[in-house]
Structure 1
Amino acid sequence: MKCVVIAAGYATRLGELTKNFPKPLLKIGENTILGRMLDDIDKIPEIDEHIIITNHKFAHIFEEWVKTTTDGDIKTNTDLTDITDYPSNPCSKYKKPITVVDDGTETNDTRLGAVCDLLFAMDKLQIDDDLLVVAADNLLFFSFQEFVDFAKAKGTSCIMCHEQPSIEKLQRTGVVELDDNNKVLGMEEKPQVPKSHWAVPPFYIYLKKDLDLVRHSVENGCGKDAPGNLAHYMVEHTTMHAWPMSAGRFDIGSLDTYYEAVEKYG
């Protein structure tokens, strides 16, 4: 199984902080947002490679960061405005190789979109394995091993879900309906009238047997921008199950939530 990290966005809502620096590599304490996630995923036996799909503007920064996961100590860069002296992460001496894929874009206006970035990486690396696809802007309080075990038990491609009591928040995300066996009966993106309280975070498992559907999704009408567009498309074309998250997550989508994460978890 390959872990594919979707990290080609420009995080415009974080303003100057991410104008020339990728959001996944912002620090939370002595680690980065991405580092905290890969520290967990790297321990999963089924995972044999981490693939980071990013844009041309940030690709070299990710490449330098990858070096800090295997090289010696590097001095701390306190302002985080360039990667030259980026801090090494003592918790992130990864056992699985990390590949950085540059999608060639340099501005938010020319971005490919999350779905097209996934397809780009699949094509460039000729991927033909099960995929764990993750967005790199969340702090998670559970292990992805549970998600992988769930998908293995169900034998289908899977999404995550969590109960969201706020109708307003449900109207800004993907929402699924489930049967008693957690099979997905339907999914809507940003519904004005949500049919359930099961919200879908940006973490997915697409099995090898479904990759042909993934490869041809955009040409068959799948939306390009959000990773949830692909999940919605897949729900309509194959059997999917949803794993109810066993614990919470913290979504870093703005300056306020980033500084809140630093204060709470840094």
Structure 2
Amino acid sequence: MAVENVKVLIMGAGYGTRLQRDLLADKTGKYRHLVGVPKALLPLGAQDALITHWLHLLAKNGIPSSSVHVITNAACYDAFVEWAKRNNVPGDNIASDGTTSNETRLGAVPDILEGVKRFNLNGDHVLVIGGDTLFLHDFDLAEFLADFRKKERACLVTTYEVPNETVHKVGIMEINKEGTVTGFVEKPQPSETSSRLACPCFYLFHQQSLNLLQDFLNDCHARNAGLSDYDATGKFLAYLWPRFPIQTHTISGRIDVGGLESYVDAVHYFDRQQLSIAAPPFHRPRP
């Protein structure tokens, strides 16, 4: 049975410039076939694409492919349409933001708003998933969705602990003892916050919070903010939490696909998972 009033928006409009640089610089040539492939469509494990893992997990938890939408760019649009055909996602659920290069990108928050508008998601709760976001194998989506249902009127995001040396690379959530967000800092120095809770791009926005996307961008434009002020999804969370409650859901960790090295690590992780699933149960010989 489908989960009522929850639609999914996968963010696929980024250009993955670091990964593409790494692929072009790779002397082995082993990954040359991935040049030009969006990060969200990188093959991983037994699936044809990173985001296909989400598609299957969502389906197992009552969210069908007809409820999954992708906002991408003009350069990658055709590749996502082909992915949709292979995976029974309606073609109308793929939309381009019209940009053709990293230099002309809209930014992450405008792309969320673009997706909400293009797919008419204003009447739904919207689960936003970063196109390069994956969680460790023990992530329980059913538990996450149940946690959201328990909240009377709140958004729900995931958090996991990171070491000091990672704090400056990620968005950090500050929370109270009830797990409610009380602050958000984008890539701070460890001395700037006592929190060590990273918050990946996996946000379940309550329907009533969606109008604040436009308010946030209006505020950015009113003060002539630059692209860096709305290109990271966390910047919207920093604007959102004082205006709409955000609750947190703890996970054990995430798989980050940034450059080639981290992609190779992700491939090895999924290969190990496949081996552990395929391996026969171990039996001790009888004495």
TM-score by length of 2: 0.78
Regions of 4+ moved over 3 Å: 16-19
The residue number in structure 2 matching 1:189 is 186
Alpha-carbon offset, residue 44 of structure 1: 2.5
The yes-or-no answer on 1:242 pairing with 2:259 is no
Contact preservation (8 Å) 1:2, 1:131:
yes
Alignment of 1:1-266 (within 5 A): 1-15=6-20, 16=24, 19-31=35-47, 32-45=49-62, 49-70=67-88, 99-128=93-122, 129-140=124-135, 141=137, 142-155=139-152, 156-164=154-162, 166-192=163-189, 193-221=192-220, 223-245=229-251, 247-266=252-271
Alpha-carbon offset, residue 241 of structure 1: 0.8
Structure 1 residues 209, 256: closer, same or farther in 2, change over 3 A? same
Q: Deviations over 1:80-138 (max 9, x none)?
A: xxxxxxxxxxxxxx7x8871011001100001111110111112222221000010213
Higher helix share: 2
Alpha-carbon offset, residue 19 of structure 1: 4.7
Identity, in percent, stands at 30
The whole-number CA distance in structure 2 between the counterparts of 1:97 and 1:64 is: 9
The whole-number CA distance in structure 1 between the counterparts of 2:144 and 2:269 is: 25
The whole-number CA distance in structure 2 between the counterparts of 1:20 and 1:46 is: 30
Contact preservation (8 Å) 1:50, 1:97:
no
Q: Deviations over 1:19-46 (max 9, x none)?
A: 5221111111331211112211223336
Question: Alignment length, in residue pairs?
Answer: 240
Gaps (5+ residues) in structure 2? 1-5, 25-31, 272-287
SS in structure 2 of the partner of residue 34 of structure 1: helix
TM-score by length of 1: 0.84
SS in structure 2 of the partner of residue 28 of structure 1: coil
Q: Deviations over 1:219-254 (max 9, x none)?
A: 123832011111121112211111111x33211111
The whole-number CA distance in structure 1 between the counterparts of 2:13 and 2:180 is: 31
Alpha-carbon offset, residue 139 of structure 1: 2.8
Gaps (5+ residues) in structure 1? 71-93
SS in structure 2 of the partner of residue 253 of structure 1: coil
The whole-number CA distance in structure 2 between the counterparts of 1:191 and 1:263 is: 30
* RMSD between superposed Cα atoms in Å: 2.0
The whole-number CA distance in structure 2 between the counterparts of 1:160 and 1:143 is: 11
